[in-house]
Structures are given as structure tokens and as C-alpha cells.
Amino acid sequence: MTTYKNILVAIDLTEEAPQVLEKAKSLAQTHGAQLTLIHVVEPVGYAYGGDIPMDLTELQDQLDKAAHEQLAAYGDQYGISKDQQIVTVGRPESEIHRLAKEMNGDLVIVGSHGRKGFQLLLGSTANGVLHGSECDVLAVRIQQD
């Protein structure tokens, strides 16, 4: 069995994040691994198609600040030090791949809603991380209440 030493857990900062964090924390304890929290903030220009001629810097800064605060709260709750919390801006799949490679991650954990049919054809972050990762990927099934 593979022993993991460096686990990266990419969360989306929604109310579903604790389901992913519980699994990640358990695996890290089982393997004696270091756990790093990652959140990727997508550039505001992506949401607006980049076609609107306005300065979105302030909005991007607010999103970045809120992400740091939320990630810090999860870090405190799950005992993950500030130096193991990363907020970055970019496309989630490519940023997670980049960080996993730079940090020598041997496991990336992401949440998955297990969508089927048309939604699956549209793709998801979990699917994007899985296809192109150089290390193992664990997709934690999000349980709907």
C-alpha cells in the first residue's frame, strides 16, 4: 500500500468543504502525512468573459481577502498551520496541478458531487484535476442532506 507523505486538499469554501476536510484529516493522520489546504480563486474576468471594460481589481482583492479568511478559519478548525494554507488565483485545475508538482504532493483530495449525464459532459474541477495529475487523486463524494 502507498504511504502518503504530502497531501494537498483543494476545497471550494462552501458548506460542503468539511466533508472533504474530514476525509483529508483522517488520511493525513493515518499516513502521518503533512496536510496542505488549497483554494483557487478564479479571476473575476473569467466570470464576466473579459468583455466588460471596467476595473475589477477591487472586486478581485475582496474575493482574495475573503478566501484567505475562510481558509484560515478552516485551518484553525482542523489544526492546519498558516504556512500550509494556500490561496492562489487562476484556473482551479491548472493551479492544483502546478501546486501539487511544486510541493511534491503525492495525493490531491477534492470534493465531487458525482454528477451524471449532461452535467458530467460539461466537466468539473474534480474531473479536471484527475485528468492531468501526476500524483494520486481522491475525489470525496459530497453527500447531499
- 49 lies in some domain: yes
Q: Domain of 41?
A: 6-141
Residue 50 has pLDDT above 60, yes or no: no
- 127 lies in some domain: yes
Query: At 120, is the pLDDT very low, low, confident or very high (cuts 50, 70, 90)?
Result: very low
- 101 lies in some domain: yes
Which CATH number is 79's domain given?
3.40.50.620
Q: Give CA–CA dist 99/108, Å, rounded.
A: 10
What is the full DSSP assignment across 14-35?
STTHHHHHHHHHHHHHHHT-EE
- 102 lies in some domain: yes
Domain count, the chain: 1
Q: Give CA–CA dist 84/76, Å, rounded.
A: 11
- 67 lies in some domain: yes
Residue 104 has pLDDT above 80, yes or no: yes
Cell numbers placing 139: 475525489
Dihedral through CA 127, CA 129, CA 134, CA 135, nearest 10? -90
Average pLDDT over residues 90-102: 94
Query: At 13, is the pLDDT very low, low, confident or very high (cuts 50, 70, 90)?
Result: confident
Q: Which residues contact 131 (CB under 8 A, 6 or more apart)?
A: none
Longest CA–CA span in the chain (Å) reads 53
Mean of the per-residue pLDDT values of the chain: 86
- 1 lies in some domain: no
Q: Give CA–CA dist 101/83, Å, rounded.
A: 17
Nearest CA among 91, 105, 135 for reference residue 36:
105
- 128 lies in some domain: yes
Pairing of strands 136-141, 107-112: parallel
pTM comes to: 0.84
pLDDT above 70 as % of the chain? 83
- 25 lies in some domain: yes
